[in-house]
Amino acid sequence: MDALRVELGLARPLPPPPPVPEIPFPPARVFPVRPAHAAPGSAAAHTTALLGIGHVGTRYATDVVLQFQAELAVAHEAVGTVLPEDWAEARGYLPVSSRVGSHREFLLRPDLGRRLDEASVARVREHARKGVDVQPILADGLSAVACMGSGPALLEAYTAACQRRGWTVGTPICARFARVWLEDEIGAETRAKVAVILLGERPGLGTGDGLSAYLVYDPKVGNTDGNRNMMSNIHARGTPPAEAAERLAVLTGAMLAQETSGVALDLAPLVAELGEIARGGYRAPQVRTRLVEVP
């Protein structure tokens, strides 16, 4: 047995144990320090996303967790808010609705939100102005909060920007339970050259009240997203409605001049008016504003 132990190497003595490092007593930190080159500050300066939020050990800091939960609750509330049936008519807009019958169906059936119901088609044919250059549409989308909040200001500013340029603007229409492609049928019914739908965008952290604008030349049922141009993050902490209205008017003018939209639209001549949007590349640094202050 002794010979076998020697052959297997079990008879060799164990190596000496490694020295035990000195561990500082509390409250000194024992967590590793992040090297300076790994700091996320440069990336965080170009986005409102939650970057460089800090941590305690392997967990998020308590303030970060509370802020995340609060902003998520705001987003849920925005998606769950329903545009009142009498809201549009009370503000002088022509009210229309998609083929959706309830808020739950609106969330589960995007296809029904892309077409008008029969009563709305008849209302547009009877009361809406026809043969216009631009047909603006205000819609709830996925945030009725945004539609009722900064929606009227954006619609008014965009309408005024178009009229200053000498274009004919259609009857202001407000759509309930609306998806983006609803602008195609409305634009086709009004025989508009350009249809623009201003609707509440899908809420995210810090943007429960954001609007998006989708523009399409020669609106007709069957258009795809490749036929459209869009602008998002229209709200007080992003692109203010007044500034967004002027940019949308510039895009509208390019569509009328080039008689196209979407991927075929040439934005190169618009650098002076649209700035970074026309140039592409990284956007200017931004400062993230908290949507909710957690005590």
Show Cβ contacts of residue 219 under 8 Å, excluding neighbours closer than 6 positions: 135, 183, 184, 185, 186, 187, 188, 192, 194, 195
Count CA atoms within 13 Å of residue 230 on its CB side.
19
Burial of residue 19 (number of CB atoms within 10 Å: 0-12, 13-18, 19+): exposed
Average pLDDT, stretch 219-237? Answer: 93
Residue 87 exposure: Cα atoms within 13 Å on the Cβ side? 18
Residue 289 has pLDDT above 70, yes or no: no
Give percent of the chain above pLDDT 90: 60
Residue 172 tokens read as: 């202001």
User: pLDDT, tens digit, for every residue of 6-59?
Assistant: 777 666 667 778 888 887 776 655 555 655 555 556 666 666 666 777 777 778
Q: What is the pLDDT of residues 56-90, one digit of tens each?
A: 777 887 877 888 888 888 889 999 999 999 999 99
Of 204-208, 210-214, 238-242, 272-276, the least confident: 272-276
Burial call 60-73: b when 16+ CB within 10 Å, e when fewer: beeebeebbeebee
- Residue 197 φ/ψ, nearest 5 degrees: -110, 125
Q: What pTM did the predictor assign?
A: 0.79
pLDDT value at residue 56: 74
Question: How far apart are the C-alpha atoms of 239 and 153, rounded to whole Å?
Answer: 13
Using an 8 Å Cβ cutoff, are 44 and 50 in contact? no
Q: What is the pLDDT of residue 271?
A: 77
- The candidate with the shortest Cα–Cα distance to 260, out of 251, 250, 269, is 251
pLDDT, residue 46, reads 64
* Structural domains in the chain plus CATH codes: 79-276 (3.40.50.11240)
Chain CA centroid to CA 282, Å: 17
**What residues pair up with 96 in beta bridges, in sequence order?**
175
Q: What's the rounded Cα separation, in Å, for the pair 235 and 185?
A: 27
How far is CA 85 from each of CA 32, 144, 177, 262, rounded to the nearest angstrom? 57, 12, 10, 33
Residue type at position 31: F
Confidence tier at 229 by pLDDT (50, 70, 90): very high
DSSP 217: E
Q: What is the pLDDT of residue 72?
A: 87
Q: What confidence tens digit (pLDDT) does each residue in 230-284 have? A: 999 899 888 899 999 999 999 999 999 999 999 999 988 887 777 666 555 656 6
**210 close to 200: Cβ distance less than 8 angstroms:** yes
Max Cα distance, the chain (Å): 106
52: phi > 0 → left, psi -120 to 50 → alpha, else beta; which? left
| 9 φψ region: left (φ > 0), alpha (ψ -120 to 50), beta (else) | left
Identify the band that residue 4 occupies on the pLDDT scale cut at 50, 70 and 90. Answer: confident
User: 43, exposed or middle or buried, with CB in 10 Å at 0-12, 13-18, 19+?
Assistant: exposed
Q: What percent of the chain has pLDDT over 70?
A: 80
